[in-house]
Amino acid sequence: MTDRPESTHGPTAPSPWVLRFSGQIPDGGEVIDIACGAGRHGRLLLENGHPVTFVDIDTSNLDDLGGRSDVAIIETDLETEGFWPFAGHAYSGVIVTNYLWRPILPAIIELVGPGGLLIYETFAVGNEAFGKPSNPHYLLKSDELLDAVGDKLEVLEFEQVEIEAPKPAVIQHIAARNVQAN
């Protein structure tokens, strides 16, 4: 597992993809930021009036958010077999960036409540040309994110692209809505 990027030492500015779609999360709806690192996306959504649950294996970069009534901080290893602390929860927004653990991908998708939005962005095959992650366990195969989401949520947009900033990488990103009625 040493091939994964450091979640707490990544970019501090929100991803352009998250910025582009975060305004479509229902007003005031609860958001979960999975593998949040220092919480760059959850912090953005807090500023926009959403209560946020921050989840990461190391939450020490979130100490300044402790004690807020609109913040939940969960420090956990999501890759522990059979452990999923969010069963039965539904969120208006589910944000995941720079993280892939295939065994929980279906459970992540199920977190998107009726009318809610999934915004997911992570590395894909081809990224090995640019450095880490280069291990195929942490790289999406062609259209893998689309295939995982497409029959469960309404896909608003999907891309597999090579980006230059914040560093050169090959990524897939998707924005998808749960169109089920409340």
8 in a structural domain: no
- Structural domain of residue 128, as residue ranges? 20-177
pLDDT band at 182; cut points 50, 70, 90 = low
14 in a structural domain: no
Residues 153, 175: contact at Cβ < 8 Å?
no
67 in a structural domain: yes
Considering only 11-15, 57-61, 147-151, 154-158, which range has the smallest mean pLDDT? Answer: 11-15
- Total number of domains constituting the chain: 1
Residues in the chain: 182
- Token reading at 176: 């998808």
12 in a structural domain: no
71 in a structural domain: yes
38 in a structural domain: yes
10 in a structural domain: no
Tell me what the mean pLDDT of segment 29-45 comes to: 96
CA distance linking residue 33 with residue 35, whole number of Å: 7
Collapsing DSSP states into helix, strand and coil, what is residue 95? strand
> In which residue are the tokens 């893998």 written?
144
DSSP assignment string, 155-171: EEEEEEEEE-SSS-EEE
Instruction: State pLDDT tens for residues 95-133.
Output: 999 999 999 999 999 999 999 999 999 999 999 999 899
Instruction: Give the CATH number of the domain where residue 133 resides.
Output: 3.40.50.150
15 in a structural domain: no
The CB density around residue 35, as the number of other CB atoms within 10 Å, is: 20
